[in-house]
Copies of this chain bind each other. A is one copy, B any other.
């Protein structure tokens, strides 16, 4: 199987497959006489695993740590379990942040409906969003 077929089979780009190889998530494949990469079904499973793990929100570094264990013959389940727990905690933290942000946005929106734009004085930029006192340097809620 060539790289394009592998990529099509899993639904990723060929560049992504080469990228995984560079990043050592995929082993260097055997090569045909023409220098083309040759893959077997295991490679399909491996790229599939990578994508599934990614869809669970694991980073490529984390996924590589799983694959490294596997390649060294260690059953990675305990490690995977830890990573899932970490990720779950992170997702919940993030959800809480977003919930707080949502509330703030709803308040801003309500305010924008209550206030008359004509009252927006020249002194401030916009009366909907007004500068808050800066207790801690709040680096903003990133995505």
Contacts and interface: CB of A to CB of B under 8 A. Distances in A.
Contact of A76 (B98, B99, B106, B125): B125
A128 B77 contact: yes
Interface string A83-124: 011011001101100110110111011001101011010011
Contact of A102 (B45, B95, B136): B95
Copies in the complex: 2
A105 B57 CA distance: 9
Interface residues of A, number: 63
Nearest to A115: B77
A112 B138 CA distance: 37
A36 interface: no
Interface of A: 10-12, 45-46, 48-49, 51-57, 66-67, 70, 75-78, 80-81, 84-85, 87-88, 91-92, 94-95, 98-99, 101-102, 104-106, 108-109, 112-113, 115, 117-118, 120, 123-132, 134, 136-138, 140-141, 143
